[in-house]
Amino acid sequence: MIDGKKVLFSGMQATGTLTLGNYLGALKNWVTLSEEYECFYSVVDLHSITVRQDPAELRKRARRLLTLYIAAGLDKKKNCIYYQSHVSGHAELSWILNCFTYMGELNRMTQFKDKSSKHADNINAGLFTYPVLMAADILLYQADVVPVGKDQLQHLEITRDIAGRFNAIYGDVFTIPEPYIGKTGAKIMSLQDPTKKMSKSDENPNDSILLMDDKDTIIRKFKRAVTDSEAKVCYRDEQPGIKNLIDIYSTCTGKTPAETEAEFDGKGYGDFKLAVGEAVASVLTPIQEEVARLEKDKAYIDSIIKENADKANYYATKTLRKVQKKVGFPERVR
């Protein structure tokens, strides 16, 4: 707890370009959570280097991501928005937690298996211990809740296991985090393959709507979205393409799936796809304009980076010093 509010932690990797799925499934929800929680939102650039990155491109994408956080509505006064690499406590706590994590637990992690198959030429130790760094991210700030998609619950479970194991040995050091799953837009699917999640690593550009796509590109991609031959706008599992488009439209407009079905009753898929594209563009265009404005104000963004790094380091150090003392490290002479 900080100032009477529960603590929430989340972050996104500084790789690729954020998609509509990232925004509707996570970032949009983050904006409203700051009223209820003390929020720490990280640009998780340490995680990014498990896959080889071009250094200049990584720095550029990290800054763009931090700017997107702010442009999407995250208030720098209500949220701690920072670079993971600017808080050394993440790496320090990760090493300690590595010593309380079992190989069998890490072997069961599905993300390691997935990424290993995609990057067979670079199966490194960081990729294997990735979940431990993620646990350190969460536990460092004594997070009470973590917004996660259903496909990320496994990572939160290992975090809970590690924290519980450490607490059983040394007392109540870590808060055991709970998952926070948004009620709408929690999982936006690919436009070309609605059986899989929309991802910024999709190879087909028509799979995903990128946050910086212009209106014409957005509408063109929705026109190409996979549907079916039923020609009826219905929210049901048997029509995964249409169900996904309804989820997107409903989340962008604030309407329920039932209201969306009623609105497009008797209308064709062409009309519906165009309406979805228009709704998405109306949401993303103001964000894009704000990104363009913020990127011209280098001093302002730099001030946020420094202030938030200082705040994150303050809270991270409080936890880290407690952990270091518990495991027996010598006290620092001040």
Residues with catalytic roles: 115, 197, 200
**Separation CA 216–CA 289 (nearest Å):** 16
Q: Which residue in 151, 268, 133, 262 sits closest to 199, CA to CA?
A: 151
Let me know: does 311 contact 76? Beta carbons within 8 Å: no
Cβ neighbours around 115 below 10 Å, total: 19
**Separation CA 12–CA 43 (nearest Å):** 6
**Separation CA 202–CA 212 (nearest Å):** 16
18 burial via Cβ count (<10 Å: 0-12, 13-18, 19+):
buried
> What sign does the dihedral 167-308-47-15 (CA atoms) show?
positive
Cβ neighbours around 49 below 10 Å, total: 17
Cβ neighbours around 293 below 10 Å, total: 12
